[in-house]
């Protein structure tokens, strides 16, 4: 049946089906013809990508403009890291995908320097599964841009919205992603933002990983209520907590993608970022068993890739890939010992925890209230405070330091009928450093670029405790391991004053 059909006919039929049924239909209709399937998949990916829904009028107006040697002719896509345009390289007479980074990401000289350094490192990788960087430049008004190949293909997230993918396709794609990640990790580069939208499958079925280096300067700020679900959904537990990350954070993200490609949905669900964060860090682990028609050994791979404790996870992408190949060859996979207990935010904390039966509805309401002021980090902060609180009053007291003002602290206490504590009074009498809004924002931006999303919370906390800029620097520097980075952090913060 399939060889007699054209890609357009199969595409037209697929468009009449619900998203979750399209992949299975395409697989059957193409009847093992890889070229035909590829053509259909590209048509499907382009059908809802004629004009990015979040492309602003301002971005559209760039068409016809000249950015460096590139003349913008159209829009390829849009995302949190800026618009991607189709542009003509006037020097080499070829088309490129041109990404102009939003000014707010590179206005800080440190972000600019780090991005350029990492981009240079990535450009030296020269790996077939990593998107080539043609050029990195800067306009006269200090806007950074990246020129990349204009690939003929589709982003992986466009394929995944159509439902579960065949096992062989899933393994083939994950192995190519793994090859690219392995090359980067071997060169000391961690992506930090592996997700389907950052993966392109070309017309030749070659997988390309995008946005190496860009993720480092984006520094997903979990204290922002507008944080992207598409990013949070693939972030590892240690990354969500603002801890230092290594290559195993990319393994977690690849594990989430692997599960999603097989099952058609993410392992940890939630309509809002706080719900996803809570599910990843604290909720009972969901049943991630694969359906009966898939090899049962896949459960072992998923369990190890998505181990909450980073020590239980695959030590390298190469190990992950080895197990994937064993599935393809029907070989036996060794069972792994996984610690599936709820994650402790502070691994050095006393294991003797006080167990208090707080009413779940009250905790949910408190978390929701806290989210208004600190964003999606609220579930992390509440669960951490619960571990050592013996009363609702003590719990609120522990959360005081994360709130921006005494007025908000008192409002929350009134909301939950809690009287003011001594510690709250101290907040109103101990002003700490008298920082301007600009200084506070500058210190927060510098700190988060070094230690991640938790940086803003630490700055708010330590600025109330410190009497001098030197004291604030010392407290923040304690959260940076590398001595050279520690010195750089202090120097950058001092420039904020």
Does pLDDT of 340 surpass 70? no
Give the mean model confidence (pLDDT) for residues 40-69. Answer: 61
pLDDT band, residue 107 (cuts 50/70/90): low
Does pLDDT of 40 surpass 60? yes
- Rounded to the nearest 10 degrees, how much is the dihedral formed by the CA atoms of 251, 253, 254, 257? 160
Give the mean model confidence (pLDDT) for residues 69-88. Answer: 78
pLDDT at 452: 65
Q: Which of 74-88, 131-145, 341-355 has the highest mean pLDDT?
A: 131-145
Give the mean model confidence (pLDDT) for residues 202-224. Answer: 70
Higher local confidence (pLDDT), 147 or 424: 147
What is the share, in percent, of the chain residues with pLDDT greater than 70?
78
Per-residue DSSP letters for 250-316?
HHHHHHHHHHHHHHSS-SS--SSHHHHHHHHHTSPPP--PPPTTS-TTHHHHHHHHT-SSGGGS-SS
State the Cα–Cα distance between residues 379 and 358, nearest whole angstrom: 15
State the Cα–Cα distance between residues 234 and 276, nearest whole angstrom: 10
pLDDT at 108: 63
pLDDT in tens, 375-385: 666 777 887 78
Give the mean model confidence (pLDDT) for residues 350-369. Answer: 64
CB-CB contact of 486 with 480 (8 Å)? yes
What is the share, in percent, of the chain residues with pLDDT greater than 90?
24
Does pLDDT of 419 surpass 80? no
pLDDT band, residue 53 (cuts 50/70/90): very low
pLDDT in tens, 223-237: 444 455 557 889 999
Q: Whose structure tokens read 């502070």? A: 346
Does pLDDT of 348 surpass 50? no
pLDDT at 140: 74
pLDDT at 347: 37
pLDDT band, residue 88 (cuts 50/70/90): very high
Give the residue from 340, 287, 298, 292 showing the smallest Cα distance to 174: 298
pLDDT at 60: 46
Kindly report the length of the chain.
497
Angle, helix 317-328 to helix 167-186, in steps of 10 degrees: 160
Backbone angles phi, psi at 89, to 5 degrees: -75, 110
* Predicted TM-score of the model (pTM): 0.68
CB-CB contact of 137 with 115 (8 Å)? no
Cα angle value 195/196/202 (rounded, 5°): 130
Higher local confidence (pLDDT), 489 or 391: 489
Describe the chain by its helix, strand, coil percentages, rounded to 5.
50, 10, 40
Does pLDDT of 195 surpass 70? yes
Angle, helix 454-465 to helix 437-451, in steps of 10 degrees: 130
pLDDT at 338: 52
pLDDT in tens, 446-496: 887 777 656 777 787 788 778 888 888 888 888 777 777 788 889 889 888
pLDDT at 421: 42
Higher local confidence (pLDDT), 385 or 69: 69
Residues acting as catalytic residues: 193
pLDDT at 266: 93
Give the mean model confidence (pLDDT) for residues 439-446. Answer: 83
Does pLDDT of 7 surpass 60? yes
Greatest extent of the chain over all pairs of C-alpha atoms, in Å:
80
Per-residue DSSP letters for 138-176?
E-TT--EEEEEE--SEEEHHHHHTT----HHHHHHHHHH
Higher local confidence (pLDDT), 455 or 352: 455
**Mean pLDDT, rounded, of the chain:** 78
């Amino acid at each position: 049946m399939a060889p007699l059909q054209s890609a357009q006919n199969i595409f037209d039929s697929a468009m009449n089906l619900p998203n979750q049924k399209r992949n299975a239909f395409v697989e059957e209709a193409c009847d093992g013809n890889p070229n035909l399937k590829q053509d259909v998949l590209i048509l499907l990916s382009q059908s809802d990508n004629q004009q990015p829904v979040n492309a602003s009028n301002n971005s559209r107006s760039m068409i016809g403009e000249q950015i460096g040697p590139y003349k913008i002719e159209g829009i390829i896509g849009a995302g949190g890291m800026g618009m991607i345009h189709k542009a003509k390289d006037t020097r080499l007479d070829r088309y490129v995908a041109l990404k102009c980074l939003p000014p707010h990401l590179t206005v800080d000289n440190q972000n600019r320097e780090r991005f350029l350094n990492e981009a240079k490192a990535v450009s030296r990788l020269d790996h077939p599964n990593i998107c080539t960087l043609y050029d990195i430049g800067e306009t006269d008004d200090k806007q950074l841009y990246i020129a990349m190949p204009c690939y003929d293909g589709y982003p992986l997230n466009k394929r995944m919205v159509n439902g579960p993918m065949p096992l062989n396709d899933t393994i083939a794609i994950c192995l190519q992603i793994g090859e690219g990640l392995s090359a980067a990790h071997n060169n000391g580069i961690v992506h930090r933002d592996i997700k389907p939208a950052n993966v392109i499958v070309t017309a030749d079925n070659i997988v390309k990983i995008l946005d190496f280096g860009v993720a480092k300067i984006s520094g997903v700020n979990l204290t922002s209520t507008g944080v992207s679900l598409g990013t949070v959904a693939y972030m590892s537990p240690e990354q969500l907590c603002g801890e230092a990350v290594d290559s195993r954070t990319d393994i977690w993200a690849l594990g989430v993608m692997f599960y999603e490609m097989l099952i058609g949905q993410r392992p940890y669900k939630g309509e809002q970022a706080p719900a996803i964060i809570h599910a990843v860090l604290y909720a009972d682990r969901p049943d991630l068993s694969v359906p009966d028609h898939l090899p049962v050994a896949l459960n072992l791979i998923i369990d190890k890739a998505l181990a909450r404790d980073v020590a239980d996870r695959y030590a390298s992408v190469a190990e992950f890939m080895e197990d994937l190949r064993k599935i393809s060859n029907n070989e036996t996979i060794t069972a792994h010992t996984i610690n599936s207990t709820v994650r402790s935010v502070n691994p050095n904390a006393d294991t003797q925890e006080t167990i208090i039966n707080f009413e779940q509805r009250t905790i949910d309401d408190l978390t929701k209230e806290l989210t208004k002021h600190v964003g999606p980090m609220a579930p992390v902060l509440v669960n951490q405070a619960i571990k050592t609180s013996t009363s609702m009053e003590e719990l609120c007291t522990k959360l005081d330091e994360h709130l921006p003002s005494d007025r908000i602290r008192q409002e929350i206490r009134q909301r939950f009928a809690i009287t003011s504590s001594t510690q709250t009074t101290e907040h109103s009498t101990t002003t700490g450093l008298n920082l301007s809004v600009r200084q506070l924002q500058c210190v927060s931006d510098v700190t988060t670029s070094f230690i991640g999303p938790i940086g803003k919370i630490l700055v708010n906390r330590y600025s109330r405790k410190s009497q001098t800029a030197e004291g604030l620097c010392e407290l923040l520097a304690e959260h940076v391991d590398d001595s050279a980075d520690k010195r750089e952090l202090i120097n950058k913060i001092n420039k904020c004053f």
